[in-house]
Amino acid sequence: MAALLNNLTLLLLLVAVLAPQSSTTAFQQATSSSYRYSPATTVARSTATSSSSTTTVEVEGIVPPETPTKSRTIKEDGTGLYQEDRYVTTVRYLVNPTNKKEQVDFEHSWTSKAQQLATTPGLTYFHMGKRAADFMGPPLPDTEFNYQSYAVWESKAAYEKVCDTLPIKKKVIATTSAVEFDGTDKDGSPANYDGLFALTVPTSVSGMAGSMSTSSDTTIDFDTSKRIKREGLVASNRFGIKPGFEKEFEEMWASRDSSLKELPGFVNFQLLRREGTNANIQTDDGNIYVSYTTWDSLKAFNNWRESDNFKRSHRGKSSTEDEKPKESPYTKMPKVVTFKTFLVVSAKDGM
């Protein structure tokens, strides 16, 4: 029962956890209480009761920092969008959801690939992720991927120098086209991103060295009859943003509080901006942006939830009667999806 309550608490809080912490802009007003999909004024309330205790969770809106925590570089292409800090390549897979053996075999098929990636120049972080809980928005379709490879590179140029040598080269060749994912391709389907506003800490601080890192002294039990041991937790939030709202959306994230780095167990964070034309992305999943935060454990996540940092960033923000409703920036309701990670590769500086 205690485990059930912990899981329920996690689900209730992730809704607000993944929202940006921002300065007040026209975009933030557009996502205020006048519009139901607001990530900045999310309120989650629930009560879970057991024979021994009652747990009540209440999460209010997010108060932005007074000033941006770090100067950022704007792209020179006239869009007003931010220059990426990293380049991220992912491949999505749908492995039989009802067949554990197929899933176990799939996980172990990545062992040698992770070992090769660990020695690849330009790679700063890698993990495989198995989809866990999801909530908010409509239910995920039956064709939704349940595994995802996640590779972070120093830059797109660094990736392109080695992409032809990668063990997953057939599906991770750099492309500006988004391909619709329908779960039928056993080799997976790529989705690549610009990594914005990267935050990370050295592995000596996070405590998550990565089982497959060349510097790791961790011994992995590769019993092929069992799932590979999980190493971390990813909390992600998917955003479909209307054309014209991208700049203000990024401004909101650029101004957020970066004090996550101070917390034990924090591993890394990026706001992912999908590569490809808007039309192609809409053909695929419609997620222009994805926030992506990695913790070394559920315990680390819960420690953050109980910290002063959490309390400061989740105080309620009142609105005035003079504020007029703004056009919604969203094409759909944000969707929260979590992953449990394994076969982690990490640079010593974290990412």
Question: CA separation (Å) from 244 to 34, 58, 193, 270, 324?
Answer: 20, 33, 19, 22, 19
256-311 residue pLDDT tens: 766 788 888 899 999 999 998 888 898 889 999 999 999 988 788 777 777 777 67
User: Quick count: other Cβ atoms within 10 Å of Cβ 303?
Assistant: 16
CA distance 238 to 246: 14
Q: Who wins on pLDDT, 283 or 180?
A: 283
DSSP state for residue 296 in the 8-state scheme: S
Region 168-175: mean pLDDT is 48
CA distance 333 to 148: 22
37-56 residue pLDDT tens: 433 333 232 333 333 333 22
- Backbone angle region of 209, left / alpha / beta, with phi > 0 → left and psi within -120 to 50 → alpha: alpha
Q: Using pLDDT thresholds of 50, 70 and 90, give the confidence band for residue 97.
A: very high
pTM over cut 0.85: no
What domains sit in the chain, N to C, each tagged with a CATH number?
69-297+327-346 (3.30.70.100)
- Checking if the pLDDT of 326 tops 60, the result is yes
Nearest by Cα to 134 from 214, 59, 238: 238
- Checking if the pLDDT of 17 tops 50, the result is no
CB-based contact 134:337 (threshold 8 Å): yes
pLDDT in the model for residue 65: 34
pLDDT in the model for residue 263: 83
